[in-house]
Protein backbone atom coordinates (compact mmCIF):
# COMPACT_ATOMS: atom_id res chain seq x y z
CA UNK A 1 0.00 0.00 0.00
CA UNK A 2 1.42 3.39 -0.95
CA UNK A 3 -0.64 5.54 1.46
CA UNK A 4 -1.57 5.01 5.09
CA UNK A 5 -5.28 4.61 5.98
CA UNK A 6 -5.42 8.01 7.74
CA UNK A 7 -4.22 9.85 4.61
CA UNK A 8 -6.64 7.85 2.44
CA UNK A 9 -9.48 8.81 4.82
CA UNK A 10 -8.51 12.52 4.69
CA UNK A 11 -8.50 12.44 0.90
CA UNK A 12 -11.84 10.60 0.84
CA UNK A 13 -13.57 13.23 3.00
CA UNK A 14 -12.02 16.11 1.06
CA UNK A 15 -12.72 14.85 -2.48
CA UNK A 16 -15.54 12.30 -2.02
CA UNK A 17 -13.29 9.52 -3.27
CA UNK A 18 -9.81 8.11 -2.73
CA UNK A 19 -7.60 5.60 -4.53
CA UNK A 20 -5.29 3.19 -2.69
CA UNK A 21 -2.67 1.47 -4.83
CA UNK A 22 -1.30 -2.09 -4.76
CA UNK A 23 -3.70 -3.54 -2.22
CA UNK A 24 -4.02 -6.96 -3.86
CA UNK A 25 -1.14 -9.09 -5.17
CA UNK A 26 -0.96 -10.88 -8.53
CA UNK A 27 -1.81 -14.14 -6.71
CA UNK A 28 -4.87 -12.53 -5.09
CA UNK A 29 -6.03 -11.34 -8.50
CA UNK A 30 -5.57 -14.77 -10.10
CA UNK A 31 -7.74 -16.23 -7.34
CA UNK A 32 -10.40 -13.52 -7.81
CA UNK A 33 -10.48 -14.07 -11.57
CA UNK A 34 -10.83 -17.83 -11.13
CA UNK A 35 -13.73 -17.35 -8.74
CA UNK A 36 -15.37 -14.79 -11.05
CA UNK A 37 -15.08 -17.15 -14.03
CA UNK A 38 -16.55 -20.01 -12.00
CA UNK A 39 -19.33 -17.75 -10.73
CA UNK A 40 -20.32 -16.48 -14.19
CA UNK A 41 -20.18 -20.01 -15.64
CA UNK A 42 -21.86 -22.04 -12.89
CA UNK A 43 -23.97 -19.63 -10.85
CA UNK A 44 -24.80 -16.95 -13.46
CA UNK A 45 -27.35 -19.11 -15.31
CA UNK A 46 -29.21 -19.86 -12.06
CA UNK A 47 -29.64 -16.19 -11.08
CA UNK A 48 -32.92 -14.34 -11.40
CA UNK A 49 -33.67 -10.95 -12.96
CA UNK A 50 -32.36 -8.21 -10.73
CA UNK A 51 -29.36 -10.31 -9.67
CA UNK A 52 -27.73 -10.48 -13.11
CA UNK A 53 -27.88 -8.13 -16.12
CA UNK A 54 -26.75 -8.67 -19.69
CA UNK A 55 -25.75 -6.10 -22.30
CA UNK A 56 -28.32 -5.49 -25.06
CA UNK A 57 -26.34 -7.39 -27.69
CA UNK A 58 -27.23 -10.58 -29.54
CA UNK A 59 -24.51 -12.54 -27.69
CA UNK A 60 -25.83 -11.24 -24.32
CA UNK A 61 -22.49 -10.50 -22.61
CA UNK A 62 -22.77 -10.23 -18.82
CA UNK A 63 -23.07 -6.58 -17.75
CA UNK A 64 -23.26 -6.84 -13.97
CA UNK A 65 -24.07 -9.23 -11.13
CA UNK A 66 -25.27 -8.29 -7.65
CA UNK A 67 -24.95 -10.02 -4.26
CA UNK A 68 -22.13 -12.40 -5.20
CA UNK A 69 -21.58 -12.86 -1.45
CA UNK A 70 -24.90 -14.74 -1.20
CA UNK A 71 -23.65 -17.49 -3.49
CA UNK A 72 -19.89 -17.61 -2.91
CA UNK A 73 -17.88 -18.12 0.29
CA UNK A 74 -14.92 -16.52 -1.45
CA UNK A 75 -16.74 -13.24 -2.11
CA UNK A 76 -18.44 -13.35 1.30
CA UNK A 77 -14.99 -13.54 2.91
CA UNK A 78 -13.65 -10.77 0.68
CA UNK A 79 -16.07 -8.31 2.34
CA UNK A 80 -14.27 -8.72 5.66
CA UNK A 81 -10.72 -8.75 4.24
CA UNK A 82 -8.56 -7.10 6.92
CA UNK A 83 -6.77 -4.84 4.40
CA UNK A 84 -10.06 -3.41 3.16
CA UNK A 85 -11.68 -3.12 6.57
CA UNK A 86 -8.68 -1.23 8.00
CA UNK A 87 -9.05 1.42 5.30
CA UNK A 88 -12.85 1.70 5.53
CA UNK A 89 -12.65 1.86 9.34
CA UNK A 90 -10.24 4.81 9.03
CA UNK A 91 -12.79 6.52 6.77
CA UNK A 92 -15.79 5.80 9.04
CA UNK A 93 -14.38 5.47 12.59
CA UNK A 94 -17.75 5.76 14.40
CA UNK A 95 -20.60 3.28 14.75
CA UNK A 96 -20.26 -0.37 13.76
CA UNK A 97 -19.08 -1.15 10.26
CA UNK A 98 -21.43 -3.18 8.09
CA UNK A 99 -20.37 -4.96 4.92
CA UNK A 100 -23.31 -5.11 2.60
CA UNK A 101 -22.92 -6.67 -0.78
CA UNK A 102 -20.39 -7.66 -3.42
CA UNK A 103 -21.15 -6.72 -7.03
CA UNK A 104 -19.42 -7.41 -10.32
CA UNK A 105 -19.24 -4.86 -13.15
CA UNK A 106 -17.99 -6.54 -16.31
CA UNK A 107 -17.71 -3.54 -18.69
CA UNK A 108 -16.61 -5.94 -21.39
CA UNK A 109 -14.34 -4.99 -24.30
CA UNK A 110 -16.43 -3.67 -27.19
CA UNK A 111 -19.81 -4.07 -25.48
CA UNK A 112 -19.64 -2.38 -22.06
CA UNK A 113 -22.42 0.22 -21.94
CA UNK A 114 -22.81 3.68 -20.43
CA UNK A 115 -23.53 4.22 -16.72
CA UNK A 116 -25.64 7.39 -16.33
CA UNK A 117 -24.51 10.05 -13.83
CA UNK A 118 -25.92 9.26 -10.39
CA UNK A 119 -25.28 9.23 -6.67
CA UNK A 120 -25.53 5.82 -5.00
CA UNK A 121 -27.57 7.52 -2.30
CA UNK A 122 -30.38 7.95 -4.84
CA UNK A 123 -30.81 4.19 -4.30
CA UNK A 124 -29.76 3.94 -0.67
CA UNK A 125 -31.43 7.06 0.84
CA UNK A 126 -29.09 7.17 3.84
CA UNK A 127 -28.63 9.95 6.42
CA UNK A 128 -25.86 10.60 7.46
CA UNK A 129 -24.20 9.42 4.24
CA UNK A 130 -21.77 7.03 5.95
CA UNK A 131 -21.86 4.63 3.05
CA UNK A 132 -19.39 3.93 0.25
CA UNK A 133 -18.58 1.60 -2.60
CA UNK A 134 -15.09 0.14 -2.63
CA UNK A 135 -14.06 -0.81 -6.16
CA UNK A 136 -11.36 -3.41 -6.80
CA UNK A 137 -9.70 -3.19 -10.23
CA UNK A 138 -9.39 -6.61 -11.84
CA UNK A 139 -8.27 -5.07 -15.15
CA UNK A 140 -6.46 -1.82 -15.81
CA UNK A 141 -8.92 1.07 -16.14
CA UNK A 142 -7.91 3.82 -18.53
CA UNK A 143 -9.51 6.61 -20.58
CA UNK A 144 -10.18 4.19 -23.49
CA UNK A 145 -12.19 1.56 -21.60
CA UNK A 146 -14.89 3.66 -19.98
CA UNK A 147 -13.38 4.17 -16.53
CA UNK A 148 -15.44 5.04 -13.47
CA UNK A 149 -15.59 8.86 -13.56
CA UNK A 150 -16.33 10.82 -10.39
CA UNK A 151 -17.05 14.51 -9.82
CA UNK A 152 -14.52 15.68 -7.26
CA UNK A 153 -16.11 17.37 -4.23
CA UNK A 154 -19.69 16.64 -5.36
CA UNK A 155 -20.40 14.63 -2.18
CA UNK A 156 -20.59 17.99 -0.38
CA UNK A 157 -23.78 18.84 -2.30
CA UNK A 158 -25.81 16.26 -0.40
CA UNK A 159 -28.41 14.03 -2.01
CA UNK A 160 -29.66 15.55 -5.30
CA UNK A 161 -32.90 14.88 -7.21
CA UNK A 162 -32.87 11.87 -9.55
CA UNK A 163 -35.29 10.49 -12.10
CA UNK A 164 -35.71 7.06 -13.61
CA UNK A 165 -33.02 6.42 -16.26
CA UNK A 166 -34.50 3.34 -17.95
CA UNK A 167 -31.01 1.79 -17.78
CA UNK A 168 -30.86 -1.77 -16.48
CA UNK A 169 -28.91 -2.00 -13.24
CA UNK A 170 -28.70 1.81 -12.93
CA UNK A 171 -32.35 2.78 -12.78
CA UNK A 172 -31.81 6.32 -11.45
CA UNK A 173 -29.96 9.29 -12.95
CA UNK A 174 -29.36 12.89 -11.90
CA UNK A 175 -32.05 15.24 -13.20
CA UNK A 176 -29.72 18.22 -13.60
CA UNK A 177 -26.04 17.84 -14.45
CA UNK A 178 -23.71 19.45 -11.92
CA UNK A 179 -21.09 22.05 -12.97
CA UNK A 180 -17.90 20.24 -14.02
CA UNK A 181 -15.78 23.38 -13.45
CA UNK A 182 -16.68 23.62 -9.76
CA UNK A 183 -16.79 19.82 -9.40
CA UNK A 184 -14.27 18.53 -11.96
CA UNK A 185 -14.60 15.07 -13.43
CA UNK A 186 -11.80 12.66 -12.54
CA UNK A 187 -11.33 9.41 -14.43
CA UNK A 188 -10.37 6.66 -12.00
CA UNK A 189 -7.37 5.09 -13.72
CA UNK A 190 -6.21 2.04 -11.81
CA UNK A 191 -3.91 -0.93 -12.24
CA UNK A 192 -5.10 -4.41 -11.32
CA UNK A 193 -5.04 -4.72 -7.52
CA UNK A 194 -5.67 -1.00 -6.86
CA UNK A 195 -8.86 0.03 -5.09
CA UNK A 196 -11.02 3.16 -5.07
CA UNK A 197 -13.64 4.21 -2.53
CA UNK A 198 -16.40 6.68 -3.43
CA UNK A 199 -18.88 8.19 -1.01
CA UNK A 200 -22.59 7.55 -1.51
CA UNK A 201 -23.27 11.22 -2.45
CA UNK A 202 -20.37 11.45 -4.92
CA UNK A 203 -21.69 11.87 -8.47
CA UNK A 204 -20.23 9.27 -10.82
CA UNK A 205 -20.81 7.83 -14.26
CA UNK A 206 -18.94 6.00 -16.98
CA UNK A 207 -18.78 5.96 -20.77
CA UNK A 208 -19.20 2.83 -22.87
CA UNK A 209 -16.25 0.58 -23.62
CA UNK A 210 -15.53 0.53 -27.36
CA UNK A 211 -11.93 -0.60 -26.73
CA UNK A 212 -10.31 -4.04 -26.87
CA UNK A 213 -9.72 -3.96 -23.10
CA UNK A 214 -12.34 -5.10 -20.63
CA UNK A 215 -12.67 -3.06 -17.42
CA UNK A 216 -13.80 -5.68 -14.91
CA UNK A 217 -14.21 -4.56 -11.35
CA UNK A 218 -15.64 -5.80 -8.09
CA UNK A 219 -17.61 -3.41 -5.89
CA UNK A 220 -18.17 -3.89 -2.16
CA UNK A 221 -20.67 -1.73 -0.24
CA UNK A 222 -19.82 -0.64 3.28
CA UNK A 223 -21.83 1.50 5.65
CA UNK A 224 -22.02 2.25 9.35
CA UNK A 225 -24.85 1.58 11.75
CA UNK A 226 -25.24 5.37 12.10
CA UNK A 227 -26.51 5.67 8.50
CA UNK A 228 -30.31 5.49 8.67
CA UNK A 229 -32.73 5.12 5.80
CA UNK A 230 -34.76 8.24 4.89
CA UNK A 231 -38.14 6.51 4.58
CA UNK A 232 -39.71 9.20 2.38
CA UNK A 233 -36.90 9.05 -0.20
CA UNK A 234 -36.92 5.26 -0.05
CA UNK A 235 -40.68 5.12 -0.78
CA UNK A 236 -40.25 7.42 -3.79
CA UNK A 237 -37.45 5.26 -5.19
CA UNK A 238 -39.56 2.11 -4.72
CA UNK A 239 -42.46 3.79 -6.56
CA UNK A 240 -40.15 4.75 -9.48
CA UNK A 241 -38.84 1.20 -9.56
CA UNK A 242 -42.38 -0.21 -9.68
CA UNK A 243 -43.20 2.07 -12.64
CA UNK A 244 -40.04 0.92 -14.44
CA UNK A 245 -41.02 -2.72 -13.89
CA UNK A 246 -44.46 -2.04 -15.34
CA UNK A 247 -42.95 -0.36 -18.42
CA UNK A 248 -40.25 -3.04 -18.91
CA UNK A 249 -41.65 -6.21 -17.39
CA UNK A 250 -38.77 -8.35 -18.65
CA UNK A 251 -36.14 -5.89 -17.45
CA UNK A 252 -36.67 -6.15 -13.71
CA UNK A 253 -34.01 -4.17 -11.92
CA UNK A 254 -32.88 -4.30 -8.33
CA UNK A 255 -31.22 -0.90 -8.41
O1 LIG B 1 -18.21 1.58 -12.90
C2 LIG B 1 -19.32 1.94 -13.29
O3 LIG B 1 -19.57 2.17 -14.46
C4 LIG B 1 -20.42 2.17 -12.31
C5 LIG B 1 -20.11 1.71 -10.94
C6 LIG B 1 -21.03 2.30 -9.94
O7 LIG B 1 -21.97 3.00 -10.24
C8 LIG B 1 -20.74 2.07 -8.54
O9 LIG B 1 -19.79 1.33 -8.23
O10 LIG B 1 -21.46 2.62 -7.69
CA of residue 92 to ligand 1 center, whole Å: 21
In a domain, 136, yes or no: yes
19: region left, alpha or beta (phi > 0 left; psi from -120 to 50 alpha): beta
Atom 8 (ligand 1) nearest CA: 133
Tell whether the model's pLDDT for residue 116 goes beyond 90. Answer: yes
Band the pLDDT of 204: cuts 50, 70, 90: very high
Choose between 129 and 236: higher pLDDT.
129
**What pLDDT, on the 0 to 100 scale, is given for residue 248?**
58
**What pLDDT, on the 0 to 100 scale, is given for residue 245?**
63
CA of residue 205 to ligand 1 center, whole Å: 7
Query: How many Cα atoms occupy the beta-carbon half-sphere of 154 within 13 Å?
Result: 28
Q: Is the CB of 112 under 6 A from ligand 1?
A: no
Strands of 62-203, DSSP E:
62-65, 97-105, 115-118, 126-127, 131-137, 149-151, 162-167, 170-174, 185-187, 195-199
For the chain, the domain total comes to 1
104: region left, alpha or beta (phi > 0 left; psi from -120 to 50 alpha): beta
Dihedral angle computed from the Cα positions of residues 49, 52, 55 and 57, in that order, rounded to the nearest 10 degrees = -60
Query: pLDDT of 144-193, one tens digit each?
Result: 999 999 999 999 999 998 888 888 778 789 999 999 999 999 999 999 99
Query: pLDDT of 6-18, one tens digit each?
Result: 999 999 999 999 9
Residue from 115, 126, 221 to probe ligand 1 pocket by mutation (most atoms less than 8 Å from CB): 115
In a domain, 253, yes or no: no
In a domain, 255, yes or no: no
**Per-residue CA distances from 190 to 16, 143, 247, 249 (Å):** 17, 10, 37, 37
In a domain, 118, yes or no: yes
**What pLDDT, on the 0 to 100 scale, is given for residue 244?**
66
In a domain, 28, yes or no: yes
In a domain, 254, yes or no: no
Q: Is the CB of 218 under 6 A from ligand 1?
A: no
Tell whether the model's pLDDT for residue 250 goes beyond 50. Answer: no
Q: Is the CB of 219 under 6 A from ligand 1?
A: yes
Report pTM: 0.91
Query: pLDDT of 27-79, one tens digit each?
Result: 999 999 999 999 999 999 999 878 999 998 888 899 999 999 999 999 999 99
What's the whole-number average pLDDT of the chain? 92
**What pLDDT, on the 0 to 100 scale, is given for residue 195?**
98
**Distance separating alpha carbons of residues 108 and 110, to the nearest angstrom:** 6
**What pLDDT, on the 0 to 100 scale, is given for residue 255?**
53
**Distance separating alpha carbons of residues 31 and 38, to the nearest angstrom:** 11
SS3 label, residue 126 = strand
Band the pLDDT of 253: cuts 50, 70, 90: very low
Atom 2 (ligand 1) nearest CA: 148
**Distance separating alpha carbons of residues 45 and 86, to the nearest angstrom:** 35
Per-residue pLDDT averaged across 200-223, rounded?
A: 97
CA of residue 32 to ligand 1 center, whole Å: 19
In a domain, 83, yes or no: yes
Any residues with CB less than 8 A from the CB of 78 and at least 6 apart, and which?
32, 69, 84, 102, 218, 220
**What pLDDT, on the 0 to 100 scale, is given for residue 172?**
85
Residue 219: domain span: 5-247
CA of residue 118 to ligand 1 center, whole Å: 9
Q: Is the CB of 119 under 6 A from ligand 1?
A: no
CATH of the domain at 79: 2.60.120.620
Q: Is the CB of 115 under 6 A from ligand 1?
A: yes
Of 31, 68, 30, whose CA–CA distance to 46 is shortest? 68
Amino acid sequence: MTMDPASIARQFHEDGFAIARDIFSKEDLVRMEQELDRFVRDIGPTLTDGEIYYEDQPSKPVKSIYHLNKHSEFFKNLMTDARLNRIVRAIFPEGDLLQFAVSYFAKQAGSGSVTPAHQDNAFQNLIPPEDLVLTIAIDESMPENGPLTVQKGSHKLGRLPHRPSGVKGFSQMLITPVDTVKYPEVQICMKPGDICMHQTNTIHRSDGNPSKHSRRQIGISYRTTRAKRDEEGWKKYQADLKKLHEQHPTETTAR
